[in-house]
Amino acid sequence: MKIPLDHAAAIGNVVRASRKAQKIRQDDAAGSIGVSENFLGKIERGDESVQWGKLFQVLEGLGVRIVVDVPDNVAAWLNERRDDRGRS
Amino acid sequence: MKIPLDHAAAIGNVVRASRKAQKIRQDDAAGSIGVSENFLGKIERGDESVQWGKLFQVLEGLGVRIVVDVPDNVAAWLNERRDDRGRS
DNA sequence: ATTAAATCCTCACGGTTGTAAGGATTTTTG
DNA sequence: CAAAAATCCTTACAACCGTGAGGATTTAAT
């Protein structure tokens, strides 16, 4: 099921719902994901100040995938790779 | 165009590509979005420590939409609204 | 209704983030 | 190729984040 995010805090609801769908508690989920229970609780309550990388870790741990939706013309610039600049 | 994110840092490429597709410089984009040029540069280079809320602000400013993809059974828990608990 | 379980909140701490300014480096332009 | 433009990097600073511990509050179970 694909859910568009219309504001940053909304991801908290998704995280909580995903965890509950798996019938696991915050502390157990946090433990297996590798973050603190405090942190997971913070995310679920919609705190926007959390670090993107840690949030992504949580999403991965809960089987939530992120898809970015961009205008089609952006694709051409995506293929302009930064690592094709002789930095191998 | 929908692009799945397989790691947190990849969003930097999307942000840069989106900005370039609009033919605007980092400092101009940052100014109109309301963040520092330093910060935008950091995001584009794939820094995962950036705050989720600020990142979302940048994505919005560049017309990038975020979609979360969850298993269908999560939907039922999403409808279990927290704000339906007499807090109006 | 009472008790147990789960979640939220506070505190303290070491480490860190976004901003602004300015210079170094890279990329683009002509 | 040289110069201009754009981006990256460093420094300093005030505000702050993730963790862990422990208690307060809310929710679930009986």
Domain spans, chain B: 8-81
By C-alpha distance, the chain B residue nearest A49 is B51
Rounded mean pLDDT, B77-84: 71
CATH fourth-level superfamily of A8-84: lambda repressor-like DNA-binding domains (1.10.260.40)
Residue A84 burial by Cβ neighbours in a 10 Å radius (0-12, 13-18, 19+): exposed
What's the pLDDT at B87? Answer: 38
Q: Nearest CA to A14 among B67, B78, B53, B84?
A: B78
Rounded mean pLDDT, B16-31: 96
Rounded mean pLDDT, B56-76: 96
Look at residue A88 and tell me whether its pLDDT is greater than 50: no
What are the tens digits of pLDDT across the range A20-38?
A: 999 999 999 999 999 999 9
Q: Given an 8 Å threshold on Cβ–Cβ distance, is B78 in contact with A3?
A: yes
Q: Given an 8 Å threshold on Cβ–Cβ distance, is B53 in contact with A4?
A: no
Give the CATH number of domain B8-81: 1.10.260.40
Contact A58, A38 (CB under 8 A): no
Upper half-sphere CA count for residue B14 (Cβ side, 13 Å): 29
What are the tens digits of pLDDT across the range A26-76?
A: 999 999 999 999 999 999 999 999 999 999 999 999 999 999 999 999 999
In whole angstroms, D22 C1' to B31 CA is 44
CA A80 to chain centre: 25
Mapped onto helix, strand or coil, the DSSP state of residue A78 is helix
Rounded mean pLDDT, B55-62: 98
CA distance B30 to B86: 40
Label residue B79 by pLDDT band (50, 70, 90). confident
What's the pLDDT at A84? Answer: 46
Give the percent of chain A with pLDDT over 70. 91
In A 61-80, which Cβ lie closer than 7 Å to strand D?
none
A33: CB within 7 A of chain D nucleic strand: no
* A13-22, B1-10, B53-62, B78-87: the lowest-pLDDT one: B78-87
What value of ipTM does the predicted structure carry? 0.92
